[in-house]
Structure 1
Amino acid sequence: MLILSALQHDALVELFNIGVGQAANALSDIVGDEVTMSVPTLRFLDRAAAGALLAGDDTRVCGVRQHYEGSFRTEAIVMFAEDKSLDIVRLMVGDAVPFEELTEMEQEAMGEIGNIVLNCCVGTLASLFDQELRGSLPVVQLASSAVILGASAAEPGRSPVVLMLHIDLALATHRIHGYIAFVLDLGAFEELRAQVDGWLARLLPAAGR
C-alpha cells in the first residue's frame, strides 16, 4: 500500500500550496483581477476512483496534460468542468471576443492556463527539492474525467496511483472548482516520498533522523 506519514502529507500540501499560490498570482496578471486559490486537499486514489471524483457520470471536463521527467516521472493533468473552463477562457481573453472566435481560441487559451498552473506546481517541487523536472508541451482534451485519466483502460490492482489535488479558484464574480492529478507509478511515488523526506530533513534536521 502506498502510504505517507502525517508529516509527509502535510509537507506535500504545503509544497503544493506554494505552487498554487504562484499560479494564482500569474493568472491574476492575465485576467487583470485578483485570483485566489484555496489550500489544496490531497488524496491518493487509483485511476478509476480518481476518474469518478470530478464527474461521476459522462459529464465532459476540460483537461490539460503534460508529461514531466527528471528526478521522477509523472503525467500531470489539470481538470475543470467544461462550462467552467469556458468561464476561465472568457476571463483570460475578455468578454468582447465574439463567441464564434472564442471557440477557435479556447483550446489555445486553456492550454496556456493549464501550462501556468501545472508548471507553477511542478516548478515549485523542482525548486524546493533542488531537482530538475522537464515538461512536455500541454495537450488539451475534452472528455469525461474517467477517459482523461484512462480509468476505463486501467486493470484492477495494476493501475498507477493518482495524486489528486482539489483546488478552488476564486475571483470577485466567479468560483471555479478543479482538480490537479499527478499519475505516478510505484517507482515515481517512492522517489517523490524520498524527495519530500530530503526537503523535510533540510528544513527540520530533526525530521531526518
Structure 2
Amino acid sequence: MRSERTDGLNASTPVHLSELELDALTELVNLGISEAAGDLATMVRQEVVLSVPRVALVGRDEAIHVLGGAEAKDLVAVHQVFEGDIIGRALLIFPEAKSLELVRAVVGGELSLEDIIELEQEALSETGNVILNGCLGTIANELERSLKISLPEVLHGQSADLFNLSPPPESGDTVMLIYIHFAVRERDIDGHIAMLLDMPSLAVLKDLLTAYIRRVAGDVQI
C-alpha cells in the first residue's frame, strides 16, 4: 500500500540529502549493481565487472548536459517506470556505439552488423531489465518497501529526448544520476542509470533512508 506523501510538498519544494543519506543511497545502489552483475554474468556466461557506482542528485537540465556533452549524441536507453511509495522512471543509458558492443557481448558469436541490429531490441531489453530490476529491487528491499516495475522499453534519441517522455515530468524533477562502467567479455562499456523522481518522491526517499540508517547504525546524527 502506498504511504502518504509528505504534507505541504510540491514540485518546487527543495529536498536535499545529507552526506550520510547520500552515502547510504550509494551503498544501496552498489548492492543492487553487484546483484545485477551476477545476474548478467549468468545470462552471458562470462564474468561481468562493474565499477563502484557514483551517485549524484542533479536537476534535469544538468542531467541532459552530462549525458549529451558539448555536442548532441545519439543515445540508446532502456526505460522502465516504477511505482510504490516512490514513483519515477529509471533509464539505463548508453551511447549508441556502446550499445552495439553490449549486444555483441550478450548474443555472443561472430554476427554481422545486420544481425546485431536485428537482435538489438531484445538483447537491450533483457540487459536493461536485469540491471534496472536488480538495482531497484535491492534498494526497495533494503528500505523495506516494494515497487511495481513496468516492462522494459528501448528508446533511441538524444539526451533531451530521454528526459521529456510522455507524460512530461513536473517542473523541478530531480534526477538521481548513477555513473557506472562495466566490462563484458573484455568489452568496456560506459553507461549511466538515471532515475527521475518528483519532489514528493524524493522526500519519501529521504525519510526511508533516515529510517534505514537508524536501523543499521543506531541513533546517529543525520
Letter in 1 for 2:186: T
Letter in 1 for 2:180: I
- CA separation of 1:165 and 1:182: change in aligned 2, threshold 3 A: same
Work out whether 1:205 is the aligned partner of 2:218: yes
After TM superposition, the structure 1 stretch with the greater mean CA deviation from structure 2, 115-124 or 93-102, is 93-102
Letter in 1 for 2:159: S
Equivalent in the alignment of 2:9: none
Q: 1:78 aligns with which of 80, 92, 96?
A: 92
Structural RMSD (CA): 2.0
Equivalent in the alignment of 1:190: 203
Q: 1:11 aligns with which of 18, 24, 36?
A: 24
| In structure 2, C-alpha distance between the alignment counterparts of 1:207 and 1:115, rounded to whole Å | 36
Which structure has the highest helix share of the two?
A: 1
The Cα of 1:52 is off from its aligned counterpart by: 1.4
Check whether the contact 2:80–2:153 (CA below 8 A) recurs between aligned residues. yes
- What does the per-residue CA deviation read over 1:133-157, in whole Å, with 9 as the maximum and x for residues that have no partner? 0001111101112211229x989x9
- What does the per-residue CA deviation read over 1:16-58, in whole Å, with 9 as the maximum and x for residues that have no partner? 0000001111111122221111111111111111011122222
Scaled by the length of structure 2, the TM-score of the pair is: 0.87
The Cα of 1:208 is off from its aligned counterpart by: 7.3
Give the 4+ runs in structure 1 shifted more than 6 A: none
User: What secondary structure is seen at the aligned counterpart in 1 of 2:99?
Assistant: helix
| In structure 2, C-alpha distance between the alignment counterparts of 1:4 and 1:36, rounded to whole Å | 29
| In structure 2, C-alpha distance between the alignment counterparts of 1:154 and 1:105, rounded to whole Å | 30
Check whether the contact 1:51–1:145 (CA below 8 A) recurs between aligned residues. yes
After TM superposition, the structure 1 stretch with the greater mean CA deviation from structure 2, 90-99 or 35-44, is 90-99
Equivalent in the alignment of 2:160: 146
User: What secondary structure is seen at the aligned counterpart in 2 of 1:59?
Assistant: coil
The Cα of 1:100 is off from its aligned counterpart by: 2.0
- The alignment of Structure 1 onto Structure 2 pairs a total of residues equal to 207
User: What secondary structure is seen at the aligned counterpart in 1 of 2:219?
Assistant: helix
- What does the per-residue CA deviation read over 1:63-96, in whole Å, with 9 as the maximum and x for residues that have no partner? 0110101111011111011111110111111133
Letter in 2 for 1:160: D
- Alignment map for 1:35-50 (pairs within 5 Å): 35-50=48-63
The Cα of 1:97 is off from its aligned counterpart by: 3.3
Equivalent in the alignment of 1:162: 175
Q: Which runs of 5+ in 1 are unaligned?
A: none
Q: 2:132 aligns with which of 103, 118, 128?
A: 118
Check whether the contact 1:38–1:169 (CA below 8 A) recurs between aligned residues. yes
Q: Which runs of 5+ in 2 are unaligned?
A: 1-13
User: What secondary structure is seen at the aligned counterpart in 2 of 1:39?
Assistant: coil
User: What secondary structure is seen at the aligned counterpart in 1 of 2:47?
Assistant: coil
Check whether the contact 2:74–2:158 (CA below 8 A) recurs between aligned residues. yes
Equivalent in the alignment of 2:189: 176
Letter in 2 for 1:166: Y
- CA separation of 1:154 and 1:131: change in aligned 2, threshold 3 A: closer
User: What secondary structure is seen at the aligned counterpart in 2 of 1:194?
Assistant: helix
Equivalent in the alignment of 1:91: 105
After TM superposition, the structure 1 stretch with the greater mean CA deviation from structure 2, 196-205 or 12-21, is 196-205
| In structure 2, C-alpha distance between the alignment counterparts of 1:111 and 1:99, rounded to whole Å | 18
